[in-house]
Amino acid sequence: MTVLQGKTILVTGASSGIGKALCELLVARGAKVFGVTRRPALVPENVTPILADLTQRGQISAIFQNLGNLDALVNCAGVAYLSRIIDGNPADWEEMWRVNVMALSHCCQLSLKHFPASGGRIVNVSSMSGHRVPPTGGFYAPTKFAVRAITDALRAELKSVQSPIQVACVSPGFVDTPLLDQYFRGREQALTQTRAAMKMLEPDDVAWAILTILEAPAHVEIGDILMRSAEQQM
Ligand SMILES: NC(=O)c1ccc[n+]([C@@H]2O[C@H](COP(=O)([O-])OP(=O)(O)OC[C@H]3O[C@@H](n4cnc5c(N)ncnc54)[C@H](OP(=O)(O)O)[C@@H]3O)[C@@H](O)[C@H]2O)c1
């Protein structure tokens, strides 16, 4: 019997990469998992898909309409275009802002009334690009700085009202997922070089870090995990 046996957990980004890997670990631990996606056919077996486009506020609200009690929310969904401030497409900025920042914040807020009085946990996925801005960070990095600030604000607000709900942020460096194809769009050679230069994190590595937060004893609050490939320079 694991700590997460029978717990109800909502994961956004359940169809791919880190979110998908996490769903598989949670199911193996006996959790009841709901996975938000636009591609329900891709969520792992035994995960209940919830169809929603996170750029649409109405669809975000609908996720929570028929949801009962929640023990944890993990905000994994994200978009990463290399879109510079000097010449990037504002439509890319807007999509990143909507999914990475607005949807994450909205899910945090809407989840609160689904937690039992004893509390629960919210984990937000930021990035090492939310801690320092790489030259290619463009508009993506600011969205990930915002995720950290939102996590800290939410934690402080919950503590100020004596809520036992814990909030954490996980900030990975490069993880080998389809998101990198999006980020390196038009710079495929740079992606090949980056892959050759290091053994990147795998989605499972980050999923395990999230699991560590979710499985910690109730009196232990893990607030932040920063992690990168041992071979990543910064
Ligand atoms: N990969 C990395 O190097 C890396 C590094 C640091 C941080 N991160 C962060 O880790 C998180 C997960 O990334 P990943 O690498 O696992 O990416 P991924 O494999 O590309 O998965 C992205 C997920 O986000 C969901 N998503 C995107 N836009 C959506 C929308 N409009 N509505 C609903 N869902 C949407 C996708 O679901 P559907 O397309 O099925 O809807 C998909 O499940 C992201 O927040 C990312 O910023 C990744």
Best residue among 76, 140, 169, 228 to mutate for probing ligand 1's pocket (most ligand atoms within 8 Å of CB) is: 76
Cβ of 137 below 6 Å from ligand 1: no
| Inside any domain, residue 112 | yes
Atom of ligand 1 nearest to the CA of 95: 31
| Inside any domain, residue 182 | yes
Q: Considering its fold, how many domains does the chain have in total?
A: 1
Partners of 37 in the beta sheet? 51
Q: Give residue 136 CA to ligand 1 midpoint distance, Å.
A: 18
Partners of 201 in the beta sheet? 175
| Inside any domain, residue 54 | yes
Which pLDDT score, from 0 to 100, does residue 14 have? 98
| Inside any domain, residue 187 | yes
Which residues are marked as active site?
140
Percent of the chain beyond pLDDT 90? 96
Mean pLDDT on 21-45: 98
User: Among candidates 65, 78, 92, which has minimal Cα distance to 14?
Assistant: 78
Q: Give residue 189 CA to ligand 1 midpoint distance, Å.
A: 22
Q: Give residue 117 CA to ligand 1 midpoint distance, Å.
A: 31
- Read off the CATH number of the domain in which 209 is found: 3.40.50.720
Which pLDDT score, from 0 to 100, does residue 10 have? 98
**Which structural domain, as residue segments, surrounds residue 130?**
8-227
Q: What letter does residue 201 receive in the DSSP assignment?
A: B
Query: Do 13 and 19 meet the contact criterion of CB atoms below 8 Å apart?
Result: yes
| Inside any domain, residue 233 | no
Best residue among 25, 34, 37 to mutate for probing ligand 1's pocket (most ligand atoms within 8 Å of CB) is: 37
CA atoms in the 13 A half-sphere facing the CB of 89: 7
Which pLDDT score, from 0 to 100, does residue 85 have? 97
Partners of 36 in the beta sheet? 12, 50
In degrees rounded to 5, what are phi and psi of residue 226?
-110, 130
In degrees rounded to 5, what are phi and psi of residue 198?
-155, 160
| Inside any domain, residue 155 | yes
Q: How many CB atoms lie within 10 A of CB 187?
A: 13
Mean pLDDT on 67-78: 98
Burial of 185 from C-beta contacts in 10 A (0-12 / 13-18 / 19+): middle
Q: Which residues, other chains included, contact 17 with Cβ-Cβ below 8 Å and sequence gap of 6+? A: 76, 175, 177, 178, 179, 203
Which pLDDT score, from 0 to 100, does residue 142 have? 98
Banded model confidence at residue 173, pLDDT cuts 50, 70, 90: very high
Work out the end-to-end distance of the chain between its first and last CA atoms, rounded to an integer number of angstroms. Answer: 39
Which pLDDT score, from 0 to 100, does residue 1 have? 72
Cβ of 35 below 6 Å from ligand 1: no
Q: For 121-144, how does the pLDDT look when each residue is reduced to its tens digit (9 = 90+)?
A: 999 999 999 999 999 899 999 999
Which pLDDT score, from 0 to 100, does residue 145 have? 98
Mean pLDDT on 215-231: 98
Residue 218 has pLDDT above 80, yes or no: yes
Percent of the chain beyond pLDDT 70? 100
Share the mean pLDDT of the chain. Answer: 97
| Inside any domain, residue 2 | no
Mean pLDDT on 156-181: 98
SS3 221: coil
Which pLDDT score, from 0 to 100, does residue 3 have? 95
Mean pLDDT on 60-80: 98
How many whole angstroms from its chain centre is CA 230? 22
| Inside any domain, residue 234 | no
Q: What sign does the CA torsion over 40, 81, 17, 56 have? A: negative
Mean pLDDT on 157-169: 98
Banded model confidence at residue 152, pLDDT cuts 50, 70, 90: very high
Residue 234 has pLDDT above 90, yes or no: no
What distance in Å separates the CA atoms of residue 1 and residue 99, rounded to the nearest whole number? 35
Mean pLDDT on 221-234: 96
What distance in Å separates the CA atoms of residue 55 and residue 188, rounded to the nearest whole number? 27
Q: For 106-116, how does the pLDDT look when each residue is reduced to its tens digit (9 = 90+)?
A: 999 999 999 99
